[in-house]
Amino acid sequence: MKCGTTKALVATLIQEASAGLEGLQLDEVDVSERPDVAVKYGVMSTPAIAINGRLEFSGVPREAALRARLRAAAAAGARR
């Protein structure tokens, strides 16, 4: 993560975008400590957000775009 401000912004964005969605598991990974995770998901810059094993965002996403992807992931999980 580039800086504390960006880290806090992304955490707040994820919290707001996932509000009301059930069945989501959120994990935060510091790729400087876990470069294997960065390689696995193809992370080239931070912040980056992967959903269901797929890199979806590099950089800070718009809340609406993140919410849409999280809703789709939650709906897919509910159908399993």
Q: Which CATH number covers residue 66? A: 3.40.30
Tokens representing 31 are: 């790729």
What's the domain range around 63? 4-79
Q: Cβ distance 13 to 63 under 8 Å?
A: yes
Residue with tokens 């989501």: 24
What three-state secondary structure class fits 55?
strand
Distance from chain centroid for Cα 67: 10
Share of the chain above pLDDT 90, in %: 59
Q: Cβ distance 46 to 2 under 8 Å?
A: yes
The total number of structural domains that make up the chain? 1
Greater pLDDT, 27 or 48 = 48
Look up the pTM and report it. Answer: 0.81
Each residue's pLDDT tens digit, 12-44: 999 999 998 887 888 889 999 999 999 999 999
